Every structure is written in C-alpha cells, then in structure tokens.
Amino acid sequence: MVDTSLGIDLNVTPFHKTDDTPMNNDLTRMSLENKKLREKLTTVWDKNNTLQNHVNKLMQDHELLVNNLNKRKFVECEEGNTSGRTETLHQGSLKRPNEGVTRVYRRTDDPSDKSMVVKDGYQWRKYGQKVTRDNPSPRAYYKCSFAPSCTVKKKVQKSVDDAHLLVVIYEGVHNHESMEKEPDDTSNRRLNSPMEMLKYDEALVEQMANSLRRNPDFIEDLADAISSNILEYDLF
C-alpha cells in the first residue's frame, strides 16, 4: 500500500511465519515496527486533519463575522437614505462598500516592521495615524502626492489575525500614471482576484498548521489534552 496523500511509502513486508532463522526474526520485528509506525502515522494524520478542519472553521467563522459587520453597515446606510436623511448620510462616514474602494492584501516578511510601506507605484503623503478599536496595530492614512488634483486616499493597517499581512484600502481612482513599474516579488504581492485571495487563505491555513506542528510546546499541549481526554473517557 502506498499512501500518496502523505508522500510516504508505507509498504509493509507481508509476514509469513515459515521458519525461525535470525534473518526472518529481524524481518518479523521490522514488520511489527512498521505496523506500529503506520498506526501512529495514521493517528497523527487524523489528528492533523481534525486540527486543520478546526483552523478552517475558525477562518470561515471570522470571515462570516466580518461580512456580517460590513452588511449591517450597508443596510443601515440604505435605511438612512430612504428615511429622508439623505444629505447627512450621503456625506457621512457610512459609505456604500466597494464604491471606488479597493481592498488589497500584501504580505510582509517582517511582522515587527512598523513602517507599513507598501510599494504600489504611486507616491503618497501620510497625513494621519490612528489606533483603531478592533486592531492593536495603528492605521496609517495616506493621500496621493498629486493632491488636490488627484483625490485618491489609502489606509494601511496590519491584519488583526496575521502580522505578516498588510491590509491596504484604496479609495478613488488615480487620474495620472504611476511613477514606477509595480514590483512583482513574492514578499510584496498583490492579491486582487477572489481566486487568488482564496488560494492565499488556503496557503495561510497550511502555514499556520505547519507552524503549529513544528512547535514542540503545541505538540506537548496537544498530547496532554488528548491523554487527559482519554483518562476522562476511561473514568466514565
């Protein structure tokens, strides 16, 4: 049997007890050890799948929460517009989402980097910085250097979930050419299409799961949790 999902050859030599030569004894022992190893690997693999499913579920829950929050803001805005409060709400802070607003995710290799510089080919002038309630890392506000003729703004803030991820929100469209070609390196990559974002999310989940698997403390905690669960189960 070859387990391709793990990429490991788990072939076990068939055990036929024909004679008791030292060579056959060794083979028997190896087969038994192979069997044990295969069982252990299966257990670890199952637990890994459970963990990965859990991480996936958490990510989905978070996504749903964010979507619901955005939807609620949009509904409030729509309701405000139909109840005669058009002027104030149109110019207020509750803007209709995705109206000239682009959200871009960029990966940074150094999560401790506080500069939050995002090379996108345009020149920007920082005009403010604020710590928001939902995120401990500050949000930086930029205007296009061609202002006031170009009114494009952008907000840059680290993702609350992943310090490696910068969330850039562009508002408006430039009425001029960019200064330079956009860099196409992997450390500062744009993720615009939904498919790209989905793939990136999957890669993130995989990365999180891998880092957890490499963490001896986590393995130890996991083993403790499992063994305590088994003990509790045995008691009942």
Give dist(CA 104, CA 161) in Å, integer: 15
CB 222 within 8 Å of CB 47: yes
Q: Give the DSSP H/E element, type plus range, for residue 229.
A: helix 216-235
Residues that bind DNA (CB under 7 A): 76-77, 80, 88-89, 91-94, 123-130, 132-134, 139, 141, 145, 153, 155
The Cα diameter of the chain in Å comes to: 95
Judged by beta carbon, residue 103 or residue 139, the one nearer DNA is 139
Is the CB of 15 or the CB of 127 nearer to DNA?
127
- As measured in angstroms, the least distance from the Cβ of 86 to DNA is 11
For 24, the 3-state DSSP assignment is helix
For 162, how many CA atoms within 13 A lie in the half-sphere containing its CB? 18
Q: Least separation, in Å, of the C-beta of 169 and DNA?
A: 8
Shortest Å distance, C-beta 186 to DNA = 25
Q: What are phi and psi of 139, to 5 degrees?
A: -105, 130
CB of 87 to DNA, least distance (A): 8
Nearer to DNA, 47 or 95 (CB): 95
- Residue 31 or 151: the one with the smaller Cβ distance to DNA is 151
Q: What is the Rg, in whole angstroms, of the alpha carbon atoms belonging to the chain?
A: 27
Answer left, alpha or beta for residue 6, where phi above 0 means left and psi between -120 and 50 means alpha: alpha
Q: Does the CA dihedral 72-79-169-140 come out positive or negative?
A: negative
Q: Which CB atom, from 77 or from 209, has the smaller least distance to DNA? A: 77
Q: How far is the CB of 79 from DNA (least distance, A)?
A: 10
> 130: which 2 tokens?
């604020």
**Residue from 142, 105, 98, 145 nearest 123 by CA:** 145
Q: By C-beta, is 115 or 186 nearer to DNA? A: 115
CB of 88 to DNA, least distance (A): 4
DSSP H helical ranges for 83-193? 86-90
Least Å distance, CB 162 to DNA, is: 19
| Residue placing its CB nearer to DNA in the complex, 78 or 220 | 78
